[in-house]
Structure 1
């Protein structure tokens, strides 16, 4: 989400990652010929990686005298690695990483955090796997407008994230097992002059085990302020033995003082992500369900409100009904 401030008789586990954005993809240079063939004055390109963690000019690959020397690192249990820490204005354009261990425990135990403009409070503090769409402990092969994993061995995000005075990105290992290999690069531009009304990117993660029948699952708990709800990545695990249809509930968006009744309401889970009459596996640009395993009851889906923005001026809350098959 973008924000102004830096089952009938079915039980399920639901996890949700909420995304907030500050501007559209076109304004970030994806879909505009003008952006492709313009070089903004004073804007420079930098990459942060273990070969140049400070993303400093003329200082990449120095560790092994120009040979490949520090492509990866380890993260011990309880350790936090800083992947990027820069000052000044800029925009993160792309985040790529891969890890040797991609089991469910590690995907959930690695915590990705992002801080804007020297804030002590992270705008993003979520499990790494969920951030990149692996919300049920499994990384699928998929590609959409914001995230991709071409062979289910890597994580890529091309969602632009602007900042005015600085950015810091960290990964922490909250497990009791060493992460043996992590490779990454964060590609960003620096020197932009952002408009006064620019919003900041935020992400929120939550889960319930198990959800409660007839009680709405909150994708986004109520937040105050103005901004834009960009969309969500959601994972569902059905309770063993309950492998029937579970997704008849409607997505509801409460905006700007809505109390009992929402302003926006859909017609069912599969309808919300662009399909109908049940749910299969697919991945489209703004909506999809990369994992739809009916035998094991595992589902991972997303919806990004890029062509159909959801703005709010005072507050926003997003839920989905828990009514199973209706």
Structure 2
């Protein structure tokens, strides 16, 4: 059944919310988070499911959307299952915002500063949500809703994986200079017969399914030459399979369901281009692809990768957020980069 078909179904659940409402009854419906402060904004006993997160925030410090970290823990685990700079988590990298609406994520007016997640996030025993400001000097002003439902029994959850999200960056990717004898078409150099040098979006172990990603690229090529950042094939390795993987794509824009070196913005429920880059594909690019109708299932492990240019011949700045569900325990995340290493390049 679809979501609308399910609306008449009666449920023995309880709807709850954690929010920043003014407990005095006034209109100061926000909290202030000091520089370097970590604040738990929700600590919920299960069984239940977070169904919606809304946030908006402001800080007088530049690039604060890369300095503020969203972390979420499920069921008393020691390591978070979500650890992502807050702007990136809600769909837009480069410490920018954009008005857009996909099925699971949206940034809404004014100027994309109303952040929304509709990813269902089930938990059996406990959910903890933290905002960590790594701003150096200025306070963070935060407004938020965390909407959730509680269930009478853990069996009401069924056989579910727990939600995970992870941020990565390679700045820049290590481009490969291919020798002339590997030319096989004008403008296409070299061969990739291993996938070993691909940019890694996700590497996970356990049982679950990958449900999509955000990919941000800062084009570092020479702007006066042919400066197309793409031609990078997606390669998704499931349960330890060797190259070539069962899921092998044909190019960067193809994985994001677009075509022919796109230069236009596009916003769809499952895929989109929030930033297409400037003239000759220069500057900042943001793309998204959600596997809502076509999750990538894994029983033991998954490695989601994409070439940075054909046969990894480009040295651009890549960052990404991967979204997936899996059983616990999960593979430890790579250490989160320092604030300085997370900041976007140049000016906007």
Q: TM-score per shorter chain, which class?
A: 0.7 to 0.9
Aligned alpha-carbon RMSD (Å): 2.0
1:237 to 218, 222, 232: 218
Label 1:33 to 1:133 Cα distance change in 2 as closer, same or farther (>3 A). closer
Within a 5 Å distance, the mapping from 1:247-326 to structure 2 comes to 247-279=230-262, 280-295=264-279, 296-324=282-310
Aligned residues: 283
What TM-score do you get using the length of structure 1 for normalisation? 0.82
2:16 to 46, 55, 63: 46
Q: RCO greater where, 1 or 2, for CA within 8 Å and sep 6 or more?
A: 1
Q: Deviations over 1:68-106 (max 9, x none)?
A: 3x4111111110111110112111011001012387620
* Alignment correspondent of 1:19: none
Gaps of 5+ in 1: 1-25, 52-60
- Confirm or deny that 1:131 pairs with 2:92: no
Gaps of 5+ in 2: 177-196, 314-348
Q: Deviations over 1:103-156 (max 9, x none)?
A: 762010100000111212110011101101121221111100011112212111
What TM-score do you get using the length of structure 2 for normalisation? 0.77
Aligned residues of 1:85 and 1:167 also touching (Cα < 8 A): yes
- Confirm or deny that 1:73 pairs with 2:31: yes
Aligned residues of 2:230 and 2:252 also touching (Cα < 8 A): yes
Aligned residues of 1:75 and 1:178 also touching (Cα < 8 A): no
- Confirm or deny that 1:165 pairs with 2:135: no
Q: 1:204 deviation in Å? A: 1.2
Label 1:249 to 1:182 Cα distance change in 2 as closer, same or farther (>3 A). same
Aligned residues of 2:233 and 2:310 also touching (Cα < 8 A): no
CA–CA distance in structure 1, aligned partners of residues 93 and 214 of structure 2 = 7
* Alignment correspondent of 1:204: 166
Classify the secondary structure of the residue corresponding to 1:45: strand
Aligned residues of 1:246 and 1:324 also touching (Cα < 8 A): no
- Confirm or deny that 1:155 pairs with 2:108: no
CA–CA distance in structure 2, aligned partners of residues 154 and 318 of structure 1 = 29
CA–CA distance in structure 2, aligned partners of residues 293 and 103 of structure 1 = 25
Label 1:145 to 1:322 Cα distance change in 2 as closer, same or farther (>3 A). same
Label 1:37 to 1:310 Cα distance change in 2 as closer, same or farther (>3 A). same
Q: 1:197 deviation in Å? A: 2.3
CA–CA distance in structure 1, aligned partners of residues 42 and 122 of structure 2 = 14
CA–CA distance in structure 2, aligned partners of residues 293 and 257 of structure 1 = 35
Following TM superposition, the consecutive aligned residue runs of length 4 or more in structure 1 with deviations greater than 4 angstroms are: none
CA–CA distance in structure 2, aligned partners of residues 155 and 103 of structure 1 = 19
CA–CA distance in structure 2, aligned partners of residues 255 and 82 of structure 1 = 35
* Alignment correspondent of 2:180: none
* Alignment correspondent of 1:217: 199
Aligned residues of 2:236 and 2:247 also touching (Cα < 8 A): yes
* Alignment correspondent of 2:59: 101
Q: 1:226 deviation in Å? A: 1.1
Classify the secondary structure of the residue corresponding to 1:202: strand
Within a 5 Å distance, the mapping from 1:17-56 to structure 2 comes to 31-41=2-12, 43-51=13-21
Q: 1:33 deviation in Å? A: 3.3
Q: Deviations over 1:3-52 (max 9, x none)?
A: xxxxxxxxxxxxxxxxxxxxxxx7xxxx43342122311x111110122x
Aligned residues of 1:291 and 1:301 also touching (Cα < 8 A): yes
CA–CA distance in structure 2, aligned partners of residues 239 and 278 of structure 1 = 17
Q: 1:317 deviation in Å? A: 0.2
